[in-house]
Structure 1
Amino acid sequence: MKTNWNTKNINIRENSFLKLVEKIDKSNNKPTRYKGTIETMLLEFFGKTSKKKYIWKRATFKRLLIHTYNQKCYGLLRDYNSVEVLLHISTFGNRMVNNIENWERKGFDKEEQLRSLIKHSFAIYETPIFLENAFFGVDKKFMLWFIQLGKGKSVKELTQMPIRLTSKMAHEFKNAPNVFEPNQALCFAQALGFGASLKTAKVIGFSKLSNINESEEKFWVTVVQFFAKETTLKATELNQMLDYLAYKLRENKSFSMKSRTQKALLFQANEWQKRVYRDEIGNVLNWQASGIKPLYLEEFENGKPVVYKTVELLNSISLFDEGNVMHYCVAGYDEDCKYNGIAIFSLQKETIGKSITRLATIEIGLKQRQIFEAKAKYNDEPSVKSSELIDLWVKSSKIKPMEEEVYEAFLPDDNVRVDNGVYVADKNYDTVTVIKVVFWILYFIVKALL
């Protein structure tokens, strides 16, 4: 992000800024790069307009600079990114619904000033904030959508609409959450139109499905329709399946979503990722089991038998599976397991009728027979239950627990010793210190008396 705090050589004061704008507007601008000053900033932006083609753009940009100056928006005019927004507004200077000069500043925050100016320039009707945000980006198509909706055009009539929308989808698009980007809002609205729950629609909206490929839109709309009916859709699994579907479509243009299930699709996506991983790493490494006794504990939860166990991971693919589920890079530990005396265990929970749940990944140094690290999903610390299970495993398998970090700053000084487990100051040190203090006190008293 560019900013220009170094503006001492050109101060925005009465007349100097306006004179600079007039001077640059009248000159034959050459491409100029911003160098941290207001002058080079204006030279760069005026250089992106023409005196002969689309002349309203240059004229509108000049009017915006002058009027925002007259409205004392000095912070806005010192900021590169804010002035770039003025340039984006000027691109559509021939589509304005109100005169620039009628706009009045109502605050000191430069982003609020710009948003107010955008709405004043183009919006008669209420428009989504996520389209208003387009003026702070680079995509002119979404800026145009804001202008068209601001003038009362319907969503289905918007220029270069990449997907076909029903009336319900169009309504949902216009009311999509502001956190979305326009393409994400389209995907979100499309999912709702196919009957998705709000939660599922949000997952779909934020997924790779929002990267709309118009040439393949007939296929991807069936994908949105397929996942819209799911109630337990997870973002990471969805993107994993979408990568697989993109691969299958490249492989076979007639590939379709007919007669498929999410469970089967996720399994196929996992197997495909394993093949890709295997191709990337070349040879799959295998290694011998460590001989450490695994944990196996049977309990009852809600009247159902549950098994907690540790499973030793003995090849590159099993490490890949663990990392894929737990969302960290344990796959890179295969050479350590093969050559450097490391063992990796997966702490798992198994319930009848349900898929196995991975609770934590545990790294053990075989030479020390000690736990080096234990992490839950996303590198979080293990839960209380997981920690209790790890402690139980440590005792039953005769391995050392993970050492707690001890920081030097909290260690006792050299003059401190331990008495019955309590840190106390050393008595010899205290005696010497007292003698020295008494000596100097007596010295200064005698000197004062003399």
Structure 2
Amino acid sequence: MANRLKPLPHAAWQAQQARIVLAAARRFDWRRMSPAEQVEHLFSVHGPLPVVDAHFGENSVLSEFYRHCAHDKTWQQRDQCAALLRGLAAKRSTLLWRAELAPALAAVAAFWRHRCRELADWQPRSRNPFRQLESLVRHLFDKYGDVPAWILNSWTSGRLHDGGVNIADLTVCLGRGAALRTFRGLPVKLTRKVEHHLRQAPAGYTFLQALRYAQLAARELPAEWLGPVLDSRLGRRLEPDDEFWLRVVEFFAASPMVDPYQLGPVCDWIHRKRSVGIGDEPPQPGFSLKGRSMPSLLAQTAQWHRQLAKQEHRKPDAEPALSATWEPMAVQNFAGGSKCKVRITQLLSYWELIDEGRALRHCVASYLDACRRGRSGIFSLTFDGSRALTLEVQANRTVVQARGLLNRRLNEEELSWVQRWAADNRLVIPKHLFG
């Protein structure tokens, strides 16, 4: 008798409630409702996420909207989201119900009080939901029509927190007519000249790509240097001493007859020298290019790669670092080819990174920390078991590097297989990688 009266644990109670709601959901189809009724039904539901998921159905679009527009929201925030979705339902907008756009609509509602026009005055001119979202954001927040296209593109591509910048906040700031360089959420200070070029960056760029585009243009460097810069560590992160790395680019651009794509390996060598040290020497945080020549930089970088390639063979358990492993990135491996078997496999241990770097004579082993922290995933492309290419995928599911033997660029055959693998996993391949 005492056991029957004992209260259920909270987790067990949630599971019980989910089963009850799921049984009722089997007799209920929200898709038969009108769009307005669907919105009202969405905001009439309350409870923990397992119960809500069971109510709307597994992998339901409404469940995704509930997560972003209703769950853990204050009553005021819920009302703002509900008002926005009611307005879109009244206009029969195709923005309802697209699960991938739920975070963007939640961000629109969060900045609702900053709108410069009313939703009632907005008329969608396209059935494409992504174009509708761009149109809606420009209508509500862009008072003067001069918010850069790459910022609006960040809304549709799901990059609302791009490079440490809150894109929604930036949109509202620029929409009021403020100068871009006065926005407090920028990770770097901008000059007037850099701001001018940043506003003109191509539409498909991320914040970091647009910033590099503007920085090179402000320094009057040739446009062909943008690809090598984005292909290097400068295209993957903003460094605290960003100005130093831009001077490295200028040093390269001023050197005649140098392959621009040697910038990436040299930057890796400089970073290693400044932060960790090469061989037995201590790190040199004050490393400078003063008094150095381009041939000496290339020679020392090549020597470092040879040292990595000739690294002494040791058992994986001989040293704690060598036995390091990490959780895989959520990207599937790939298998294809008929006459020649093609495999793209994720590397999940430091020992595998060392083997990869030794075979292709590059510095992929230096990405140990990035892999362990989940910032990057390293993949190896092989043809009939022979290593051909090393790929880096960042946490935002973008393929940022593809390097073969001695850091060579990928060829057309390799690119076609990488594109197939990227399409299967919905990965982004920047244009500069095609170079």
Report the Cα offset of residue 320 of structure 1. Answer: 4.2
Report the Cα offset of residue 380 of structure 1. Answer: 5.6
Could you tell me how far apart the structure 2 residues matched to 1:143 and 1:186 are?
18
Q: Is the 8 A contact 1:207 1:235 kept in 2?
A: no
Task: State which structure, 1 or 2, has the greater radius of gyration over its C-alpha atoms.
Answer: 1
Report the Cα offset of residue 186 of structure 1. Answer: 0.8
1:208 matched residue in structure 2: 233
Deviations 1:321-364 (A, max 9, x none): 5999xx9879x969xxxxxxxxxxxxxxxxxxxxxxxxxx9xxx
Deviations 1:172-201 (A, max 9, x none): 111012232111111221122222012213
2:424 matched residue in structure 1: none
Report the Cα offset of residue 168 of structure 1. Answer: 1.8
2:244 matched residue in structure 1: 219
Q: Is the 8 A contact 2:147 2:171 kept in 1?
A: yes
Are positions 1:191 and 2:212 aligned together?
A: no
Could you tell me how far apart the structure 1 residues matched to 2:314 and 2:124 are?
63
Report the Cα offset of residue 277 of structure 1. Answer: 2.9
TM-score scaled to structure 2, two decimals?
Answer: 0.58
What's the C-alpha RMSD, in Å, of the aligned pairs?
Answer: 3.8
Against the structure 1 CA distance between its residues 102 and 64, is the aligned structure 2 distance closer, same or farther, given a 3 Å change threshold? same
Against the structure 1 CA distance between its residues 153 and 62, is the aligned structure 2 distance closer, same or farther, given a 3 Å change threshold? same
Against the structure 1 CA distance between its residues 323 and 259, is the aligned structure 2 distance closer, same or farther, given a 3 Å change threshold? closer
Deviations 1:115-142 (A, max 9, x none): 1011111112312221112222240523
Are positions 1:248 and 2:273 aligned together?
A: yes
Map 1:391-406 → 2, pairs under 5 A: none
Deviations 1:355-384 (A, max 9, x none): xxxxxx9xxxxxxxxxxxxxx974568xxx
1:163 matched residue in structure 2: 188
Report the Cα offset of residue 66 of structure 1. Answer: 0.9
Report the Cα offset of residue 254 of structure 1. Answer: 0.7
AA aligned to 1:128 is P
Map 1:7-26 → 2, pairs under 5 A: 9-11=29-31, 13-14=33-34, 15-24=36-45
Report the Cα offset of residue 91 of structure 1. Answer: 2.6
Against the structure 1 CA distance between its residues 50 and 379, is the aligned structure 2 distance closer, same or farther, given a 3 Å change threshold? closer
2:99 matched residue in structure 1: 80
* Count of paired positions: 295
Map 1:370-389 → 2, pairs under 5 A: 378=410
Report the Cα offset of residue 274 of structure 1. Answer: 2.1
1:175 matched residue in structure 2: 200
Report the Cα offset of residue 96 of structure 1. Answer: 1.7
AA aligned to 2:59 is G
Map 1:43-442 → 2, pairs under 5 A: 43-51=66-74, 55=76, 57-73=77-93, 75-125=94-144, 126-135=146-155, 136-139=158-161, 141-205=166-230, 207-229=232-254, 234=259, 236-250=261-275, 251-279=283-311, 281=313, 320=360, 378=410
AA aligned to 1:94 is R
Could you tell me how far apart the structure 2 residues matched to 1:61 and 1:87 are?
6
AA aligned to 2:41 is L
Query: % of aligned pairs identical?
Result: 20
Could you tell me how far apart the structure 2 residues matched to 1:12 and 1:231 are?
68
1:366 matched residue in structure 2: none
Deviations 1:371-402 (A, max 9, x none): xxxxx974568xxxxxxxxxxxxxxxxxxxxx
Gaps of 5+ in 2: 1-25, 276-282, 316-355, 365-379, 388-404, 414-435
Against the structure 1 CA distance between its residues 380 and 178, is the aligned structure 2 distance closer, same or farther, given a 3 Å change threshold? closer
Against the structure 1 CA distance between its residues 234 and 23, is the aligned structure 2 distance closer, same or farther, given a 3 Å change threshold? farther
Could you tell me how far apart the structure 2 residues matched to 1:318 and 1:36 are?
44
Q: Is the 8 A contact 1:30 1:47 kept in 2?
A: no
Q: Is the 8 A contact 1:173 1:185 kept in 2?
A: yes
